[in-house]
């Protein structure tokens, strides 16, 4: 187990630094092994952390873009040598596209985590609370020009929401996404919506989840067919209203269930108390 792996085992949080990468001499590289287009085995943690450092570096990977697709090609080309400067593999050059795809996922997940800081605070608080490692001017742009834009939020001014908004609303707990796999899928959907705004909701779903069956569409629940989603704007707006109504009904039902469970527990405690206080009858 290398230094990075040891640090991970201790579960120490903080700056994403990997000492065994920093200790490398000029021209020295860490060996990695790819299996099914992913790095495995020794140095895989160091490799992933190094990719994370690259996508967090504003000089290499800009934050002032709406989507990974908006990053200029020459910047993407510059990222690859930064990877190969520290790591090597028998098939390193063949893995370029897969590594960049992994970096894209890390970048999207990071931006998704930054968005969590926006949802439950006032604009003043958000702008004041600049995330660690993010330039203040970049943060202001990301909040004002991206997170608060109508295109990002969707579903405003009477227009039907995009699939990213629907997915968020139907998977959130409280006012945020909790499960890592849900956060990752939301980031994927949101990036696709931003980069190809002309796609319909069903096209976004099938790009991210594959072909959908007639009776169930991911993100919309049972009873809504692919044919309905391929209808016009009016039908989509109606579906959104139905979705909001369903969510309200679900929340109301959950509240009633919570009340019933509380009453049941109270009655159960009374019965237990009464049974324990009844004197035993001598035989």
221: three-class secondary structure by DSSP: strand
On the 0-12 / 13-18 / 19+ scale of CB atoms within 10 A, 225 is middle
DSSP at 179: S
The pLDDT, as a whole number, for residue 159 is 58
**221-222 and 216-217: which strand pairing?**
antiparallel
Q: Which of 47, 35, 40 is nearest to 83 (CA)?
A: 47
What is the rounded CA–CA span in Å between residue 52 and residue 106? 6
Q: Which ranges of the chain have pLDDT less than 50?
A: 1-3, 5-14, 156-158, 232-235
The pLDDT, as a whole number, for residue 122 is 83
Task: For residue 256, give Cα distances in angstroms to 73, 197, 199, 252, 264.
Answer: 54, 40, 39, 6, 12
The pLDDT, as a whole number, for residue 152 is 74
pLDDT tens-digit map of 110-123: 888 888 777 777 88
> What is the sign, positive or negative, of the torsion defined by CA atoms of 215, 221, 226, 232?
positive
> What pTM, to 2 d.p., does this model score?
0.56
Q: What is the 3-state secondary structure (H, E, C) of 105-168?
A: HHHHHHHHHHHHHHHCCCHHHHHHCCCCCCCHHHHHHHHHHHHCCHHHHCCCCCCCCCHHHHHH
What is the rounded CA–CA span in Å between residue 21 and residue 83? 11
The pLDDT, as a whole number, for residue 241 is 57
Domains of the chain by residue range: 1-110, 145-252
The pLDDT, as a whole number, for residue 84 is 92
The pLDDT, as a whole number, for residue 13 is 41
86: three-class secondary structure by DSSP: coil
């Amino acid at each position: 187990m290398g230094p990075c792996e040891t640090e991970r085992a201790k579960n120490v949080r903080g700056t994403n630094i990997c000492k065994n990468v920093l200790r490398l001499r000029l021209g020295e590289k860490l060996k990695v092994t790819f299996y099914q287009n992913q790095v495995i085995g020794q140095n895989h943690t160091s490799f992933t952390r190094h990719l994370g450092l690259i996508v967090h570096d504003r000089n290499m990977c800009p934050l002032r873009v709406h989507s990974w697709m908006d990053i200029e090609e020459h910047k993407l080309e510059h990222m690859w040598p930064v990877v190969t400067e520290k790591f090597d593999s028998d098939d390193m050059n063949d893995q370029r596209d897969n590594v960049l795809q992994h970096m894209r996922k890390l970048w999207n997940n990071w931006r998704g985590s930054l968005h969590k800081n926006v949802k439950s605070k006032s604009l003043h608080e958000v702008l004041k609370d600049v995330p660690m490692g993010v330039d203040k001017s970049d943060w202001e742009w990301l909040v004002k020009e991206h997170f608060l834009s109508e295109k990002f939020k969707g579903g405003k001014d009477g227009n039907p929401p995009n699939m990213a908004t629907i997915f968020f609303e139907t998977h959130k707990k409280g006012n945020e996404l909790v499960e890592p796999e849900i956060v990752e899928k939301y980031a994927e959907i949101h990036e696709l919506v931003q980069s190809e705004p002309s796609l319909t909701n069903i096209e976004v779903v099938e790009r991210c989840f594959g072909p959908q069956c007639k009776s169930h569409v991911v993100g919309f629940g049972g009873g809504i067919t692919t044919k309905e989603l391929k209808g016009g704007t009016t039908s989509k707006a109606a579906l959104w209203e139905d979705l909001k109504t369903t969510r309200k009904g679900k929340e109301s039902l959950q509240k009633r269930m919570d009340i019933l469970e509380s009453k049941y527990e109270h009655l159960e405690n009374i019965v237990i108390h009464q049974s324990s206080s009844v004197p035993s009858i001598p035989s």
